[in-house]
Structure 1
Amino acid sequence: MDMGAALIAIVGVAGTLGAALLTQRGADRTKRRELELSRAIQEAREDRELRRRSYTDLHRDARQFATALSRHLYVLRDRAVSDDDVRALEEAKDGQRNGWSEAIMIAPGAVLAAAWEVNEALTRVYGQVKRQEQGNPRVGETLLSAAEAQQALWPLIHAMGDAMRHDLGVPGEIRAALRATQTRHVGVRDDMLSGVETGSGRTPQA
């Protein structure tokens, strides 16, 4: 075989090997991109599920704490507070506090801002209720003012729920759904007002 033919053969073999190598590298890059995309999708799903669980727990615990505050106000109005009453309120507070602590670590800004408002409001109402329980209210604080503050918690909790739903891609607002399916709920504030007007029940403390 002369030199020219040998060079042609070498070039042919090199070209074939080079094309195979390039094809293999392209396939490897494609496979790597597919793996990275699959991993990113899986991580996004896991992150969304973590947020969903955290939001569900925090929303539930905030509602339960608000309800426990309402119940405690009824107890303060109607009878002496027992150890079981105090324990039930503290357990509701602790549950909400734990959920809030977790949400701080994973919630995005909009959800965190709404949850912060709920946490602050719950803390303020809890302080009012406990001062009433201990017979040491601040100037202007009464059972009625505490009941009004407790009723004001619900719009904040609904707004927090809406922010959570939006972050998870769930359409609609909680308050709109409630207005469409439920009548107005009579809360502890209304009962306190009724007691003041009729003279029934325990007189709110000044």
Structure 2
Amino acid sequence: MDDQGIVLLKEAGAHGRRQTVSGAISGRAVPLARVPCFAGPGGVAGLGEERPVDAGNATALGVAVVGVLGTLLSALLTQRAGERSRKREYERAEAAQERRAETQEALACYVAFNTAVRQYLAALTDQVHELGQDGPDSVQQRLTEARDHHRDAYAEVQLRAPERITGLAGDLSRELGVVYGMVRRIVSGAPRESDSVAAARERIDALWRQLRDVRREMRINSNAPQTP
């Protein structure tokens, strides 16, 4: 092969075109086909060659993708479950706090009512003791103030207490009003036939017992410790 043939072969390999080398070999034209090639790890291989896909690699890739997605989904579900759990815990704590606040408010209301009734009964007792005597005006003033204080405390019970407590407190308050009217009529010198100092004292003693019953129900309702 002369130098011209070598040059033609080189040009055919570089440009990938079919070339004809005339007179290079035995006086005949020799067709040269472009054979794309590249250098790979294993040597020279054809560029147009289709290499088979490795099934093992594809399976491993799919498993890896599924694993990543599963991890992300699991983390998301765990986060959502944690959020729901924290929300439920917060709602339970808030409800418990509201119940405690309501219990404390009811207890304060019951204490105020009990105190007001005791002061009212004490003022009635003092007023009865002063009947027929020229006692100071402060006794009557204290009775009026105790009556007004009791009225306010009873109004608070009507707003906050359950029906049973409200009913018992109402019965007690009405009886207090009856005794107050009796005492005021005696003091003013215009008693009714059934009005007397003895009757007033008897009714006052009954009211102290009635207050104990109301107080016991209030303790039960407010979960307060029981006392004799």
Mapped contact 1:65–1:93 kept (Cα < 8 A)? yes
Identity rate, percent: 32
Residue-by-residue CA offset, 1:21-60 (whole Å, 9 max, x unaligned): 1101100011011111111111111111111111111111
Partner in structure 2 of residue 94 of structure 1 = 148
TM norm structure 1: 0.76
Residue of structure 2 equivalent to 1:148: 202
Per-residue CA distance 1:107-129 (angstroms, 9 max, x = gap): 12232222112111111111111
What RMSD in Å do the two structures reach over aligned CA positions?
2.1
Say which SS state the counterpart of residue 138 (structure 1) adopts: coil
Tell me whether 144-153 or 120-129 shows the greater mean CA deviation. 144-153
CA distance in 2, matches of 1:77, 1:48: 46
Provide the C-alpha distance between the structure 2 equivalents of 1:104 and 1:10, rounded to a whole number of angstroms. 68
Q: What is the CA-CA distance between 1:83 and the residue it aligns to?
A: 3.5
Hey, what's the Cα distance between the residues in 2 that align with 1:162 and 1:103? 15
Stretch moving more, 122-131 or 4-13: 4-13
Partner of 1:13: 68
**For structure 1, which runs of at least 5 residues remain unmatched after alignment?**
178-206
Instruction: State the alpha-carbon separation in 1 of the partners of residues 132 and 217 from structure 2.
Output: 35
- Tell me how far apart the structure 2 counterparts of residues 37 and 77 of structure 1 sit (CA, whole Å): 62
Aligned equivalents of 2:171, 2:120: Cα separation in 1 = 14
Structure with the larger helix share:
1
Contact 2:123 2:139 in 1 (8 A): no
Q: Write out per-residue CA displacement over residues 108-162 of structure 1, whole angstroms, 9 at most, x where no aligned residue.
A: 2232222112111111111111111222222322222222222211111000111
Distance in structure 2 (CA, Å) of the matches to 1:100 and 1:36: 33
How far apart are the structure 1 equivalents of 2:132 and 2:72? 89
2:128 is the counterpart of 1:73 = yes
Q: Supply the distance in 1 between the matched residues of 2:180 and 2:119 (Cα, whole angstroms).
A: 13
Q: Which has the larger radius of gyration?
A: 2
Cα separation, 1, equivalents of 2:112 and 2:64: 72
Q: Distance in 1 between matches of 2:131 and 2:156?
A: 32
Q: Report what 1:116 is aligned to.
A: 170
2:6 aligns with none
C-alpha distance in structure 1 between counterparts of 2:138 and 2:123, whole Å: 12
1:5 deviates by: 6.0
Structure (1/2) with the larger strand percentage: 2
Q: Distance in 2 between matches of 1:53 and 1:165?
A: 11
Tell me the equivalent position of 2:114. Answer: 59
Would the aligned equivalents of 1:117 and 1:156 in 2 still touch at CA under 8 Å?
no
- 1:133 counterpart residue number: 187
Equivalent of residue 160 in structure 2, options 106, 111, 126: 106
